[in-house]
Every structure is written in structure tokens, then in C-alpha cells.
Amino acid sequence: MRVDVQGLTVRYGDVTAVDDMTFSLEGNKIYGLLGRNGSGKTSLMSALAGYRRPVGSVQLDGVPVFENARAMQNVCLVRHTTDAADKGDKVTHALEYGKAWRETWDDAYAHELVELFKLPLKTKVGELSLGQRSALGVTIGLASRSPLTMLDESHLGMDTPTRYAFYDALLNDFMRHPRTFLISTHLIEELASLLEEVVIIDHGRLVLQEEADVLRSRGTEVTGNAADVDEFTAGLSVLSEKTLGRTKAAMVYGTLDDAQLVRARQLGLELGPIALQDLFVHLTEPVGGRR
Ligand SMILES: Nc1ncnc2c1ncn2[C@@H]1O[C@H](COP(=O)(O)OP(=O)(O)OP(=O)(O)O)[C@@H](O)[C@H]1O
């Protein structure tokens, strides 16, 4: 499903959560929506789901989503809190609602995921653990097979093995049934290999939208003898450094020229791709204020 956002602004009283945002997602990809706390991810996703009347326009496959039941049926937004489901309902009922609401729902797949995540069907949603609630949200999101599926930090409460089981399930299901996923997460590196394109927002504004590989190629990890790494990176924009004994790894922002590549070889330094997370930190406002 294609998404077109034009001049979108979301305000809560005096607070501008999304500030005149314009971008398009061509669709059928796994997109990462990255942004610091309070940057406007949830507000943006709510507008994309048609939950609020937009200032500006939000179109899904060329059709405005707000007050359009047909378009909204093609969207599934899973938030990290299972606010959609009544906490007094049993898990099995939450899944039935998912099924009743969506033509694209795959019930057999929903039950495969219930098995995978060991979800207790007869337990009330309000009595699930945080991780189980996350698993229920993710189950609803994946089994909905919605043409636009948005997962807003929905896997936050899962433990590490469960998160990795979720990433596998997501990728496998996306390969079998390509659709548009927009996923917000603060666990960037874990999800990085799944993301084809990345949208970074900060203070309600679009910072960049880029293919993940292109974004990674904007920086280099330089590893080697600490003194040699220091010599090589002097004057470069270093995003972060890690030292282990005499070895150092430095994340450098910017493209290296031929002379620098030759010098790196002379010093015996290893050059590799940069972590998306380091770029993200560099591209958004630092904790405590502006750069
Ligand atoms: N219901 C609301 N009423 C008033 N202000 C709100 C409301 N919801 C969000 N905001 C404000 O809008 C801004 C964006 O919030 P939003 O939840 O969209 O950010 P987010 O990127 O999803 O944050 P997080 O990563 O912490 O979940 C914040 O300043 C927040 O305080």
C-alpha cells in the first residue's frame, strides 16, 4: 500500500507533535520509523491510521484515509499498549475482533503465532504479562495481513528470544505476503537488518528518508590499533568510539576519499559499515539540548 503525506500537522493544544510533514512511502517494504521519545511517531502513525482529522492530507493508495471506513479497514495499527482490546476480554476474543474487523485476517496464521508465543487464549487481556501483551499485539498485527501494518513499539515488552522469534516471523511473513510495514522502535540495531527504508523524525519534523543501505554507507566503522585509529580519525567526524585493550573501533560520519582509503590500508585498519543506531544518534538532537 502506498502512503502519501502532505503538509501533515498534528497538534494537542499548544504542543505541535507533527509539524508540516511531507513524504511518501511507495509501499510493499518494511520501513523503520525512528525518532527520539516525544518526536511524534505515535501521533504520525495515528494520523496514518485515520484516527484523527488531519491538518494537511494523508492518502493511502491515493485515497484520503480519514472518515473512510474502506481505507481504514486496510490499516492495522498496533500500539505498545493494547488499548484497542478491552482489558476484560479474553485473548481469544481479542483475536476474534481482529478477525471480524479485517477481510485480510488469516486465522490459521493467528493460531500459529499463538503457539509460537505461547499465548494463553483463556486469560483476560488485562491479566497478561507485559511480554504476553506485546506478543498479542504483534500476533494481531501480523495475522491482520493488513496492506498497511504499523507496529508502534509493539514488541517493546518481549524478552530477547521472543523478540528474535518475532523478527523471524515478521520477515518470513513479509516474504510470503509482501505489504507495507511501518515499524517504530528504539531497539534499532536488532531490527536494522530487516529494514529496507528508514524514516527519521525529530521534533515532529522529517529529518531524512533513505534506503537503509544508503544510510549505512554514509559512515564507516574504523577498527584497529588504538593509536592508529586515533591518527586516522583526527579531524574526522567521530560519532562514537569503543576501546578494548589496544584495539579501538570508531564510527566515522562522512564518505572517505581515496587518499584516506590508502592511508587506512597502510595503517592496517579494518573498514566496515556503520551501525544504523550510531547514525540515528548523530542525526537527532542530543539528550539535553541542541548541538
Ligand atoms: N494526547 C496528548 N495530549 C497532549 N500532548 C500529547 C498527546 N499525545 C502526545 N502528545 C505530545 O506530542 C508529542 C509527540 O508525542 P508522540 O507520542 O507522538 O511521540 P513518540 O515519538 O511516539 O514518543 P515515544 O517514543 O516516547 O513513544 C510529545 O510532546 C507529547 O507530549
Average pLDDT of the residues in 34-48: 94
| Ligand 1 geometric centre to CA of 215 (Å) | 26
Query: Considering only the top CATH level, what class is 219-273?
Result: alpha beta
Rounded mean pLDDT of the chain? 91
Residue nearest to atom 26 of ligand 1 (CA): 37
Q: What is the ipTM of this complex?
A: 0.97
DSSP secondary structure of 19-58: EEEEEEE-SSSEEEEEE-TTSSHHHHHHHHTT-SPPEEEE
Cell of 95: 483475536
Angle at 116 between CA 112 and CA 122, to 5 degrees: 80
User: Can you give the pLDDT at residue 218?
Assistant: 85
Q: Where are the domains of the chain?
A: 3-211, 219-273
Rounded to whole angstroms, how far apart are CA atoms 119 and 136? 7
Tell me which residue of 108, 186, 103 sits closest to 147, measured CA to CA: 103
Residue nearest to atom 5 of ligand 1 (CA): 12
Cell of 103: 477481510
* Most ligand 1 atoms within 8 A of CB, residue of 12, 78, 202, 203 to mutate: 12
Residue 14 Cβ inside 6 Å of ligand 1? The answer reads: no
**Pairing between strand 63-64 and 75-79?**
unpaired
Average pLDDT of the residues in 42-56: 92
Please give the CATH topology (third level) of the domain spanning 3-211. Rossmann fold (3.40.50)
Rounded to whole angstroms, how far apart are CA atoms 41 and 80? 12
Residue 63 Cβ inside 6 Å of ligand 1? The answer reads: no
User: Can you give the pLDDT at residue 63?
Assistant: 94
HSE, side-chain direction, 13 A CA sphere, residue 173: 27
Cell of 215: 544510510
DSSP secondary structure of 220-249: EEEEEEHHHHHHHHTTSEEEEEEEETTEEE
Residue nearest to atom 4 of ligand 1 (CA): 12
Average pLDDT of the residues in 143-149: 97
Rounded to whole angstroms, how far apart are CA atoms 135 and 131? 6
Alpha helices in 144-197 (DSSP H): 160-176, 188-192
Residue 47 Cβ inside 6 Å of ligand 1? The answer reads: no
According to DSSP, the residues that pair with 238 across neighbouring strands are 252
pLDDT tens for 223-263 read 999 999 999 999 998 888 899 999 999 999 888 999 999 99
**Closest atom of ligand 1 to CA, residue 45:** 18
Rounded to whole angstroms, how far apart are CA atoms 181 and 145? 10
pLDDT tens for 180-198 read 999 998 888 889 889 999 9
* 12, burial (CB in 10 Å: exposed 0-12, middle 13-18, buried 19+): exposed
Tell me which residue of 141, 184, 134, 126 sits closest to 160, measured CA to CA: 134
